[in-house]
């Protein structure tokens, strides 16, 4: 049984040394417990926050503890009345081959699952985040312009496609030509701009001739800088994530631009609202699953998974996620289905 522990807290970008691979014997369930074999492990940007002990909405992983993470697993043996060997289970078992559970926090998916990894992406936490942040805070209306960055990723890809279904003009922002091509040609966005282009701000302005009504914030940094002058009166900004800053060790130097931003929010009556998906919207998950399942089944929402084989590759894949090396929802295939 292999498992990755948090070995040390990163300063800036995480490195391989921050993780330690440990091998233990496979645990055995006692009365009321079950043994799970991890099949898919989700890697997500929030894990950078758990590696740090800075104040957050959730406690950090302690040094020497197993790295946390959403998982899709199969029941190996069970002494729990609600789970049978072979059942698929959605849980939060972290970066390890096997986990013991008393059943709490698990969702039993039954013995037959055609596409279990989707429950970590388009039909799971990231898809749900996109759906609620856009519909509840973004309030999209036909004819409005929406901008979303990390547009080829797990959250951004769903935000843009749902906004299209709601009748918006949708402009993506992504890193590199290939991601931008995918976002327009395969996901059906109206345009996509490469944030690494030297004239990125001009290109974004040209792609938004009517300004921006909804900016779904996934990244912060230079993308938000380019968005600010394009915001329309009564724009909405669901603040979902600021991945461009997750590795920052300090505030950026430069003039204090907060008064400028607050002045803009005031004059243009802009609404900016953060949210933490399961803290704020847990009760909406059933409705989401029903609606998104339908859209995916009808081919109205497309998605892409970036599957990496082998638990041993989790640290590198996670470090790459914060650098934009993933292309689609990043998932580790820990073992065969
Ligand atoms: P993605 O699959 O989109 O992967 C992360 C992507 O972020 C990278 O591929 C990269 O795409 C982009 N990125 C990284 N650094 C930068 C940068 N400096 N500037 C611009 N883009 C950058 O991840 P998710 O879809 O899982 O997450 C997207 C966001 O949603 C994150 O901020 C995450 O923290 C947030 N989130 C928030 C939740 C909540 O409850 N509030 C829940 C789930 C996610 P590219 O190459 O295109 O730049």
Instruction: Report the chain's terminal Cα–Cα distance, integer Å.
Output: 17
| Ligand 1: centre distance to CA 243 (Å) | 5
The sign of the torsion formed by the CA atoms of 40, 297, 192, 46 equals: negative
> Could you tell which of 192, 243, 245, 276 is best to mutate to test the pocket of ligand 1, judged by most ligand atoms within 8 Å of the CB?
243
Residue nearest atom 10 in ligand 1 by C-alpha distance? 324
Q: 3: CA distance to ligand 1 center in Å?
A: 25
Instruction: Walk along the chain (337 residues) in steps of 10 and give the mean pLDDT of each run.
Output: 98 98 96 98 98 94 98 98 97 98 96 96 98 98 98 98 98 98 98 98 98 98 97 98 96 93 98 98 96 98 98 98 98 97
Nearest CA to ligand 1 atom 13: 324
pTM of structure: 0.97
Please tell me whether residue 35 adopts helix, strand or coil conformation: strand
Q: Tokens for 20, please give them.
A: 């330690």
Tell which atom from ligand 1 comes closest to the C-alpha of 195: 20
Neighbours of 54 (CB within 10 A): 7
Contact (Cβ atoms closer than 8 angstroms) between residue 108 and residue 66: no
Say what the pLDDT of residue 98 is. 98
Tell me if 248 sits within 8 A of 221, measured CB to CB. no
- The whole-number pLDDT of residue 323 equals 97
C-alpha closest to that of 305 among 73, 122, 128, 93: 122
**Which alpha helices (H) appear in the chain, and where do they start and end?**
46-50, 125-132, 154-165, 177-185, 200-207, 221-227, 258-267, 277-281, 285-297, 314-321
Ligand 1 neighbourhood includes 200 CB (under 6 angstroms): no
Half-sphere exposure of 23 (CA within 13 A, CB side): 1
C-alpha of residue 231 to centroid of ligand 1, in Å:
21
Task: Give the Cα separation of 231 and 237 in Å (integer).
Answer: 10
Cα-to-centroid distance, 263 and ligand 1 (Å): 28
Closest CA to 2 of 73, 71, 66, 48: 66
Residue from 324, 326, 328, 331 whose mutation best tests the ligand 1 pocket (most atoms within 8 A of CB): 324
Q: pLDDT at position 268, please?
A: 98
* Ligand 1 centre distance from Cα of residue 153 (Å): 7
Rounded CA-CA distance 183/193 in Å is 10
Pairing of strands 34-42, 98-101: antiparallel
């Amino acid at each position: 049984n292999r498992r990755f522990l948090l070995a040390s807290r990163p300063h800036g970008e995480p490195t391989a040394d921050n993780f330690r691979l440990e091998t233990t014997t496979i645990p055995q369930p006692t009365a009321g417990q079950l043994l799970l074999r991890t099949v898919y492990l989700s890697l997500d940007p929030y894990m950078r926050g758990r590696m740090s002990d800075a104040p957050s909405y959730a406690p950090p992983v302690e040094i020497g503890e197993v790295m946390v993470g959403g998982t899709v697993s199969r029941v190996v043996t069970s002494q729990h009345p609600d789970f049978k060997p072979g059942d698929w289970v959605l849980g939060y078992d972290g970066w390890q081959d096997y986990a013991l559970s008393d059943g709490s926090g698990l969702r039993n998916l039954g013995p037959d699952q055609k596409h279990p990894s989707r429950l970590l992406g388009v039909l799971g936490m990231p898809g749900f985040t996109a759906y609620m942040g856009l519909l509840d805070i973004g309030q999209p209306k036909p004819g409005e312009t929406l901008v979303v960055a990390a547009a080829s990723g797990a959250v951004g890809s769903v935000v843009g496609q749902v906004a299209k279904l709601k009748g918006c003009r949708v402009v993506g922002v992504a890193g590199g030509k290939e991601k931008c091509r995918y976002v327009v040609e395969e996901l059906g966005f109206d345009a996509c701009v490469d944030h690494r282009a030297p004239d990125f701000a001009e290109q974004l302005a040209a792609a938004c001739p009517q300004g921006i009504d909804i900016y779904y914030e996934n990244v912060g940094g230079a993308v938000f800088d380019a968005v600010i002058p394009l915001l329309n009166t009564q724009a909405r900004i669901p603040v979902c994530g600021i991945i461009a800053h997750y590795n920052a060790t300090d505030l950026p130097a430069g003039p204090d631009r907060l008064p400028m931003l607050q002045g803009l929010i005031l004059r243009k009556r802009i609404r900016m609202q953060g949210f933490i998906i399961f803290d704020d919207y847990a009760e909406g998950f059933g409705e989401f699953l029903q609606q998104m399942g339908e859209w995916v089944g009808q081919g109205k929402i497309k998605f892409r998974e970036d599957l990496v084989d082998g638990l041993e590759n989790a640290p590198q894949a996670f470090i790459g996620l914060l650098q934009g090396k993933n292309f689609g929802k990043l998932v580790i295939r820990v073992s065969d289905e």
